[in-house]
Chain A
């Protein structure tokens, strides 16, 4: 190999390294957003990249959608069973959080591709 070959290697590794660092520190833009529906009607769509707390006060009750670190979960629900708060965090396309008593559904759209088509639970 010649000297200039090593320049190619160095340049490529440098670019790859910079890209990797950028994506690492940017947390990798999840690109997706969470679409919230109440009783089947879309009430809003919220980007997963933005840290935010969105309160929902509907005729059915109160829930807060919390987006942190590219994932969304529900807090402060005043539904009787609080299952929506126990459903964990969602970040992959098609994943949902459901609050049945409040007819509220939060679903990830255009997010990180999921490994599965659906989850049986």
Chain B
């Protein structure tokens, strides 16, 4: 399916370069995110700016590349800006979110905003599952509805940003030959 995406991958060199740019971009977003005091009065909820990269990446790169970018970003940013515990939370959330968004991009009828919202929600679901496994309690359960809605809202914001950025990214890609 990788080769059937709208934008051709081009040469291997171009592809690796794009992957690298996206990792760098995602890292910058992760860093910026540490400055944004965005919360719903509930701890653990983040805007998820780096998700922007995954979202845009899925439109012009093979899925496996986006997964790689996302994984590298999570490991690096957890080590730099977070801690070891946050790595597992982020990996679980990132993976589930990626799977969900990738499946939706392969289906017709979902806009980038809808995909983003689904991704945001699944990201939080992944974190909840990790928390339940690590803490070994069901205390967090009341938290779940709050996190679901939170994922929807952050997804909406990120999705809208992605929609705004898409035309510019497409343009940039055309000139990137």
Direct touch of chains A and B (CB < 8 A)? yes
Q: Residue B117 at the A interface, CB < 8 A?
A: yes
Q: Which residues of B contact A4 (CB under 8 A)?
A: 109-110, 114
Tell whether A31 pairs with B139 under 8 Å between CB atoms, given A1-B111, A1-B114, A19-B145.
yes
Query: How many B residues, CB 8 Å from partner?
Result: 20
Given A3-B109, A16-B144, A20-B145, 15 extra CB contacts under 8 A? A2-B110, A2-B114, A5-B110, A5-B111, A8-B110, A12-B151, A12-B152, A13-B152, A15-B145, A15-B148, A19-B144, A20-B142, A23-B142, A28-B141, A113-B139
Contact with A8, one of B117, B137, B142 (Cβ below 8 angstroms) = B117
Q: Residue A81 at the B interface, CB < 8 A?
A: no
How far, in angstroms, from A108 to B119 measured CA to CA in the complex? 38
Q: Residue B28 at the A interface, CB < 8 A?
A: no
> Which chain B residues have a beta carbon within 8 Å of chain A's beta carbons?
109-111, 113-114, 117-118, 121, 137-139, 141-142, 144-146, 148-149, 151-152
Q: Which residues of B contact A110 (CB under 8 A)?
A: 137
Q: Which residues of B contact A113 (CB under 8 A)?
A: 139
Contact with B111, one of A2, A12, A112 (Cβ below 8 angstroms) = A2
Q: Which residues of B contact A15 (CB under 8 A)?
A: 145, 148
Q: How far is the CB of A94 from chain B (nearest CB, A)?
A: 14
